[in-house]
Amino acid sequence: MLRGLLAAALAVLPTPITTPAQAAPAAYTLPLTDAVSQLPVAAEDRTDYDREASFGGWIDADREGCNTRMEVLLAEAVEAPTVTGRCTLSGGRWYSWYDSALVDGPRGLDIDHVVPLAEAWDSGASSWTRDRRVAYANYLDDQRHLEAVSARCIRQKADQDPSTWLVPDNPAERCHYVAAWTSVKLQ
């Protein structure tokens, strides 16, 4: 069902995406419709899911003083914020592409896991080690994985996948969202 909904959402847009090859170190590019068709289909299971216990919170992986949330905010700012102390941000401006909103100041933003943590759990992260789940929740090596978006928009999305949430406030970005979601799922 999800595969059909994704395909319908991008039926007219053969947007190529870059995804890591399963066994090769280099990335490869393929049409989004082909990438969607490669998504595995399996029953989902949310048994024993507890977001905080399972995935932890934001970490400072590089030990430079900014946790993952702050790293994403700094990377995605369209007007740089002021950084003081132990990575306290003030001012700045961000573009929330989910809803085409400009957001002033970091407090109006949340960091979205494009593939929600609950969806990752449902799809097999429940069998990962806690360290692997924490690494997934804080993964910064692919800019499609975490997105700074308006707090209002992320609360609408919550733990939904593309079968029930497709960037409703910004239909022009649906293909972009499906491409990002599919790329993360294929990693």
pLDDT, mean of residues 37-61: 91
Closest CA relative to residue 104, chosen from 83, 78, 70: 78
Give the SS3 label for residue 90: strand
CB-based contact 97:173 (threshold 8 Å): yes
CB 149 within 8 A of CB 98: yes
Per-residue pLDDT, averaged over 153-181, amounts to 90
Question: pTM of the prediction?
Answer: 0.82
Is 145 within 8 Å of 113 (Cβ atoms)?
yes
pLDDT score for 39: 83
Length of the chain: 187
Task: Give the residues across from 29 on adjacent strands.
Answer: 18
Per-residue model confidence (pLDDT) at position 77: 98
Q: What is the mean pLDDT of the chain?
A: 85
Q: Would you give the DSSP letter of residue 186?
A: H
- The answer, yes or no, to whether residue 2 has pLDDT greater than 60, is no
Confidence of residue 30 (pLDDT cuts 50, 70, 90): confident
What is the Cα–Cα distance from 93 to 88, expressed in whole angstroms? Answer: 15
Query: Above 80 in pLDDT, residue 134?
Result: yes
φ/ψ (deg, to 5) at 64:
-100, 5
Q: Which tens digit of pLDDT belongs to each residue from 4-24?
A: 444 444 443 334 444 333 333
Q: What does the DSSP 8-state code read for residue 65? A: S
